[in-house]
Structure 1
Amino acid sequence: MSTASATAVQLLANGRHSTDLELALAGSIWWGGFTAELTLINRGDVPINDWTIRFVTPHRLEGDPWGATAQVEPGVDGLNRIRLSGSDWAASIPAGGSIRIGFNGRQGVDLGAGGSLSLSDLVASGVPENPPEPDPIEPQPGPPADAPPADAPPADGPAAAADLAVTVGGTRWWDGFTAELTIENRSGRDLSGWSLSFDSVHFISDTPWGASLRSEDLGNGVTRYHLSGDGWGAVLPAGQAVTVGFNGQQGRSIGNSGALEEAMLWCRVDGAAAIPGVDPSPPQDSPAPMDPPAPAEPQPVPDSPSAEPPPPGTGEPPSTGAPINAAEALQLSLLFYEANRSGDLDETSNRIDWRGDSGLTDGRDGVYFGGMQSENLQPGLSLDLSGGYHDAGDHGKFGLPLASSLMTLAWGGLEYADGFALAGETDALLETVRWGTDYLLRAHEQNPDGSTRFLVAQVGDVAADHALWSAPETQTILRPALAITPDQPGSDLAGITSAALSSASVLFRQAGESAYADTLLEEAEALHDFAHSHRGRYSDSIPEVQAYYNSFSGDEDELTLSSAWLARALEADGQPGHEALRQQALQRFESGIGGLSAGWTHNWDDSSYAAAVLLAQDSEDPALRASIETWLDSWQEGGNGVQLTEGGLRFISPWGSLRYMANTALLAGIYTDTVTGASTGYDLLVNDSVAYILGDNPLAMSYVVGYGDRFPLQPHHRAASGVGWEDFESDQPNRHVLHGALVGGPSAASDTVYVDRRSDYISNEVALDYNAGLVGALARSVQTLGGTPLSDQQLDALPGVSVPGLGGDASSDGVLLPL
């Protein structure tokens, strides 16, 4: 590990150059690129709430950093000036504490194809740095620079009201809100710019859409915000309006559900109200405003560099209307989980020819209670943590999203059992869930009294794994295990793991495996009690997961879902107490969650949508149903941050966009089929989403690998690629077909933006949670619309697939080229 010197790297703490802030650098070099991991240490006795790192480098950043925002200024001689500032979970460094951030980079000068990254590798030598910025002058008391004069009369309405009118809309949700501001141009001329200033006790928590943001602290908990039109929101033609927006955190309680009103958003300070302003110069030729995107969910850190984004498509051809065969797609989607198995693969049942045993010593390379510090290592503790699933295109094993994925799979299996049976996939579903729950049982250790001693959250040194591009069968790096305990809690992880085991208990009990269902239920109860008794985010206890699966939503959603599923499991077993648990879940949803954000959806970090639909199935709560239907209406019709393209894509976030559409389709189907019936009209949402993913889209592209006539050939997956770093950028298809994997999909609200490229982890990575909602949605399609599954002989004929008992050729692992 390298330590930064003052001349090589400039460090600012709370806006000033500080000797209290130290930087240590580690990381890995790989072919053409590198991963940098920066640890910032606060040696002082006060928190650092604002920090900045500046350095000059011959290399360039790839993708977004984790834990930081980056500003890059290209310089002379191929050098780039980088400025990193803390954000999200790494925005503040406690006194005496530390945080770890990082980024991927593309080599600007040759660093080789392997080894450790040092400070001298990263920072340019012999190059004059930017001159140190002077420490800021302590502000003197007085009005803000653009505040109205002290003797100005109080404003009763927006300035320049003759030109602009502002209407506030949006929704409130637990501890937050989504604001939508409609700016109307009432003048007789086109406006090429506009601005809006307002004071608020709330905090804008994400980048606005359609506007840029500047803010200043007025003191006493009040912030003055300045919004200016930006991008598609900059131009205001005469007589027209544009709607921009942002998400925020409540600085003062305004309720956890319902519409957002103007009086809730901004307040008057010194007589100032919202003050719009305009730039009256005529606009250049600019496109009409588009629907705004919702802010992206925080995502796992990329494990490889991204190539330059491709130019968007130039046209929007019509949808193909191609027929789909959901039964075949369902078969393939479960094959993906077999391809991502870790552990001892039984040769008599393994259907994926190019996969073998891996991770057999997981649990024996050290077990840490909490983060991976020496004092947390448990001497002599050796576990069998083999099995489970590799998370995505890499080989780490994470409790999240695994538990969320298993819960989603089990729920789909329960609701659409007939669809799985018609496709002949009931046994495949049960084995898919069992492979995951068997691992969770090994990851959970109980005390003699039945209480939870620990729950393993992560297996593998993910940074070391990401430095390699190779199959798991050939890797020999250490794979330590990190666990939560009563002293290092993780109520979010424990809660969702309890929900996974409870839902699986119901699934296996329904399948007649009562003994296994009893085991799952017993451990689900222990984890439920552990989660409710020992509160805390698992990513606070285990900092290593922050760069990959940080808990942004907290634990109220997982605690609610765990109680709702445990109530189901107890009821399925004929045990008392289930109704009290259900009421507990309803009360927690009302007090702790409050409502659903209409511009988001079910995902590995946010269980509130699943909890809402599950509770709606088991109760008659009208407020709960209204919140669900407001959310689903946004997905059905577009709006509230959900963008609906002409070709049928429903888009909220660039990273793995199609998993959100698939998850929403499953929950919309469950809600329609079990709560309201077809009268809500969400059948169209479900069927159109599934059809779009399977190829009924303007590109005629199936986003499920191996399905249809045109599908991705280069999914971002180490084992399937069959190459090392030396051929990582090759334009050739992966050596092995990763049948059934749902790739991330379009990275923008465009039907033609997708490009099939191995290095594009935003659009082309695959993951356990990507397929989970799709599996259930496909089973529903089979159950309601029909489909023809492949025969065993047809499955056996697929490249790289051998059906046991048919004598398939294990060497048939070549590439299937679409027509």
Structure 2
Amino acid sequence: MEKTKGKASCKKWLRPIVMLLVISLLLPLLAPGPTVQGAASPRIGGSYYSYGEAMQKAILFYKANRLGDLPDDYILPYRGDAAMTDGQDVGLDLTGGWADAGDGIKFTHPMSYAAGQLGWAVYEYRRAFEKSGQLDNILDEIKWATDFFIKAHPSPNLLYYMCGYEESDHSVWVTHEMLDYVTDRKSFKVDPSTPGSDVAGQTAAALAIASIIFEPTDPEYANTCLTHAKQLFSFADTYRGKNPLGSLYPSGGYMDDLAWGAIWLYIKTENTYYLDKAKSALPVTSLGGGHTHCWDDVSYGAALKIAQATHDSSYAAMVEKNLDIWMPGGSMKYTPGGLAWLSQWGSLRYASTAAFLAFVWSDDKTVGTASKKETYHNFAERQINYALGDNPRGGSYVVGFGENSPVHPHHRTAHGSWTSMLSVPLFHRNILYGALVGGPGSDDGWKDDISDYTLNEVATDYNAGFVGALAKMYDIYGGEPLQNWPQPEDFRAPEDNLNEYFVRGWIMYEGYGALNLMLQINNRSAHPAVMKDKLSARYYMDLSELFEAGYGLEDVEITLGQNEGAKLYGLKRYKDNIYYFTVDFSGTQILPAEWQMCEKDATVSIKYKRSDIGSNTNDWSYQGLTGSPDYDAISFAGMTPYIPIYDDGVLLWGKEPPLGEPEFIYGDLNDDGNVNSIDFALLKRVLIGEPAQNTNMQAADVNADGQVNSIDYAILKSYLMNIIDSLPHRM
């Protein structure tokens, strides 16, 4: 409260009133609650957030960035196999690992940093991961990365450090599942002729850490990791030099990476050879400046581990010199709301990783300055609480967690565009749970904008230190992870009621016994995005008037006009006087990647040999057709369910003419007379675009609305769990 200038004191009779006024003003500031604009710092010392849930979701983020052959029952329904050609150009299998960020390039250097950082979190706070039920999840994610490192290291002095590259990958905005179709997945390596001590040293560290944390659960795998770690460190140390990574991740040096790899090999093996190597690569006088542990500078983490391993006061002083810079009153810039702000690029990434180092150092009572430990600890709590919502905005910076969390992260697969455009659609079709966005500017300013990748980029290295800090917060304050979460429907954004496969149709000409149509097959899939090359559409005709006049099929002519790879088949009897012809795009790839790829057109002419005996107005598929074709790949104009779309003959979307009383049970996809878990599994296959043969697609449309989608999935699930007593359209 600012004093009134020019007045030294208040009159005695005013003092009680002034005191009451002061107390009334201070009480709201003392009470727990979100930080308001201009507040000095976030809170410490309480269970303000569900830290277990935040940790659970932050780990889950890594599954969204997996590349390679994903399990058929993958927990994220919007993800499918991706980057399956990695390594083919060099005759190797380099599939797997994580895409780096919102793009699709795979970098061994930042990936090995992220995997190593997650492993370090397990090393320090294994109990917290066990207690929260997240140990298996985080180990599974780390192994997904280390499995790739082992593949990428096919011989002692060879390491592949990148798959894909900037010019190709950044020229498109497509889901990870589409990378193989529209980008060049070229492979890049380091070897004795082109060394890369930075990437090799960093990867050696990740594998050395893996050899420690997997020892209790999988000693054989731990030994494999150790073998590769030793070989990679030897390669990095023997053939010294920076890898030629280019403009995206230009390395600042490699001595820190050598120290980082060496100290973890020492921790694992207790061989002083590695300790000497670590100290030689990171002499006690080398650490300075106000940065923190990150993919390009692991000297701060290496110094911390050397200090803990040796109890050398000189290294301890190095650690505290760096941490002191980050403390309030140090030289680090702070936002008005209390975020220790290092850079516009991933401000929260740096603050949360500095918090992790502060936690680890404050936990160690055997080395360092005891009087500083509480300050370090409090700093760490404040930074994590800021990220979770205790900030001037009153909002979380973790997608899908807390209040006012981001919904427009810069992430191509979460967005789900079918036109390679950040503006199509205007919302994200999938929820990228757990992703820590880059964060606010130095003034706490931030906007939820997919195109602002400075503030809204997400990355595997952004989440890495954050996960470890959350584990510590959970260990102190709890907040349990969600139970029976996630479910497939949880990931789909509420706004996304879009049809993924459909036909648009327009009348180009009508008259004198002729009907010229344009039919357009669309693939806007995102759950997951799938390339289709067996799509077809059927136009259903009622030929009653033709037959009643004594004419036959030979008196109606169906011809295919201009098209983009279509074939025409027909006419084929459906029932009674209902026939259909098929416009078949089999052999033509239709994929949600660009305008020219997500839709394919064909013109068809229907002509009766006598104009007075044929009419199309009673055709099932004529319903709703209009003129004026709309060629805009963003629009849904002209979409008609009465011209159904099929995948290899299996109905994907649309309505076929009714056959009278249904001879099936809604929900009984295998027609065995029962609705059970087998049908549920078949429906899941339909929804991921891989329907089993002989699946009754009419039965899959549980609510009979002409579409098979997540609503049918939810209804069938509720029925099988006895939440509802009957299916809405069960016959």
TM-score bucket (shorter structure)? 0.5 to 0.7
The letter for the 2-side match of 1:352 is L
Shift of 1:317: 6.1
Q: Which is strand-richer, 1 or 2?
A: 1
Q: Deviations over 1:225-269 (max 9, x none)?
A: xxxxxxxxxxxxxxxxxxxxxxxxxxxxxxxxxxxxxxxxxxxxx
1:521 and 2:254 matched: no
Q: 2:451 aligns with which of 748, 759, 769?
A: 759
Q: 2:302, 2:159 → 1: CA distance?
A: 23
Larger Rg: 2
Q: 1:731, 1:383 → 2: CA distance?
A: 37
Give 2:481's aligned residue.
Answer: 789
1:636 and 2:327 matched: yes
Answer whether contact 1:456 1:481 (CA < 8 A) is retained.
yes
Distance 1:711 1:487, change over 3 A: same
Answer whether contact 1:317 1:698 (CA < 8 A) is retained.
yes
1:359 and 2:88 matched: no
Give 2:359's aligned residue.
Answer: 669
Q: 2:275, 2:379 → 1: CA distance?
A: 29
1:558 and 2:249 matched: no
Q: 1:408, 1:527 → 2: CA distance?
A: 18
SS of 2:301's partner is helix
Give 1:506's aligned residue.
Answer: 212
Answer whether contact 1:531 1:559 (CA < 8 A) is retained.
yes
Give 2:103's aligned residue.
Answer: 394
Give 1:772's aligned residue.
Answer: 464
Q: 1:736, 1:796 → 2: CA distance?
A: 11
SS of 2:109's partner is helix
Q: How does 1:637-652 map to 2 (within 5 A)?
A: 637-640=328-331, 642-652=332-342
Give 1:721's aligned residue.
Answer: 415
Q: How does 1:561-580 map to 2 (within 5 A)?
A: 561-571=260-270, 578-580=271-273
Q: How does 1:452-471 map to 2 (within 5 A)?
A: 452-471=156-175
Q: 1:437, 1:812 → 2: CA distance?
A: 35
Q: Deviations over 1:704-757 (max 9, x none)?
A: 1000121111000111101255752369331111000000001x3112x10110
Give 2:585's aligned residue.
Answer: none
Shift of 1:633: 1.4
TM (norm. structure 1) is 0.54
Q: Which is helix-richer, 1 or 2?
A: 2
Give 2:64's aligned residue.
Answer: 339
Q: How does 1:27-106 map to 2 (within 5 A)?
A: none
SS of 1:536's partner is coil
Give 1:700's aligned residue.
Answer: 394
Answer whether contact 1:417 1:426 (CA < 8 A) is retained.
yes
Shift of 1:424: 0.9
SS of 1:666's partner is helix
Q: 1:484 aligns with which of 170, 174, 190?
A: 190
Answer whether contact 2:400 2:433 (CA < 8 A) is retained.
yes
Give 1:411's aligned residue.
Answer: 120
Q: 2:54, 2:157 → 1: CA distance?
A: 41
1:445 and 2:154 matched: yes
Q: 2:103, 2:389 → 1: CA distance?
A: 27
The letter for the 1-side match of 2:273 is A
- Structure 1 residues without counterparts, runs of 5 or longer: 1-313, 368-381, 447-451, 540-544, 572-577, 815-819
Distance 1:813 1:326, change over 3 A: farther
Shift of 1:610: 1.0
Give 1:532's aligned residue.
Answer: 237
Distance 1:315 1:782, change over 3 A: closer
Distance 1:638 1:392, change over 3 A: farther
SS of 1:637's partner is coil
Give 1:277's aligned residue.
Answer: none
1:712 and 2:411 matched: no
SS of 1:530's partner is helix
Answer whether contact 2:80 2:177 (CA < 8 A) is retained.
yes
Q: 1:714, 1:638 → 2: CA distance?
A: 35
Answer whether contact 2:37 2:392 (CA < 8 A) is retained.
no
Distance 1:595 1:812, change over 3 A: farther
Q: How does 1:251-400 map to 2 (within 5 A)?
A: 316=38, 323-348=48-73, 350-364=74-88, 366-367=89-90, 382-400=91-109
Give 2:281's aligned residue.
Answer: 588
Q: 1:652, 1:335 → 2: CA distance?
A: 27
Distance 1:358 1:608, change over 3 A: same
Q: Which runs of 4+ in 1 moved over 2 A?
A: 314-322, 594-598, 674-679, 724-727, 729-733, 793-802, 804-814
The letter for the 1-side match of 2:267 is R
Answer whether contact 1:419 1:781 (CA < 8 A) is retained.
no
Q: How many residues align?
A: 461
Q: 1:734 aligns with which of 423, 428, 436?
A: 428
Answer whether contact 2:116 2:210 (CA < 8 A) is retained.
yes
SS of 1:458's partner is strand
- Structure 2 residues without counterparts, runs of 5 or longer: 1-35, 494-526, 528-676, 688-708, 713-731
Q: Calculate percent identity across the aligned residue pairs.
A: 38
Q: Deviations over 1:622-679 (max 9, x none)?
A: 1111121121112121433x11223211101111111001111111111111244685
SS of 1:416's partner is helix
Shift of 1:315: 5.8
Give 2:348's aligned residue.
Answer: 658
Q: Deviations over 1:291-311 (max 9, x none)?
A: xxxxxxxxxxxxxxxxxxxxx
Q: 1:360, 1:432 → 2: CA distance?
A: 19
Shift of 1:617: 1.4
Answer whether contact 2:42 2:383 (CA < 8 A) is retained.
no
Give 2:318's aligned residue.
Answer: 627
1:546 and 2:246 matched: yes
Q: 2:220, 2:133 → 1: CA distance?
A: 24
Answer whether contact 1:493 1:538 (CA < 8 A) is retained.
yes
Q: How does 1:139-288 map to 2 (within 5 A)?
A: none
Q: 1:401, 1:523 → 2: CA distance?
A: 18
Shift of 1:469: 0.8
Distance 1:785 1:604, change over 3 A: same
Answer whether contact 1:720 1:738 (CA < 8 A) is retained.
yes
Shift of 1:588: 2.7
SS of 1:547's partner is coil
Distance 1:695 1:515, change over 3 A: same
Give 1:600's aligned residue.
Answer: 291
Q: 1:458, 1:426 → 2: CA distance?
A: 29
Q: 2:132, 2:255 → 1: CA distance?
A: 37
The letter for the 1-side match of 2:317 is A
Shift of 1:700: 1.0
Q: Deviations over 1:449-488 (max 9, x none)?
A: xxx2310010013311111111121231331101001111
Give 1:4's aligned residue.
Answer: none
SS of 1:457's partner is strand
Answer whether contact 1:319 1:700 (CA < 8 A) is retained.
no
Q: 1:326, 1:712 → 2: CA distance?
A: 18
The letter for the 1-side match of 2:434 is G
SS of 1:482's partner is strand
The letter for the 1-side match of 2:137 is A
Answer whether contact 1:799 1:813 (CA < 8 A) is retained.
no
Distance 1:794 1:361, change over 3 A: closer
Give 1:77's aligned residue.
Answer: none
Q: 2:135, 2:335 → 1: CA distance?
A: 35
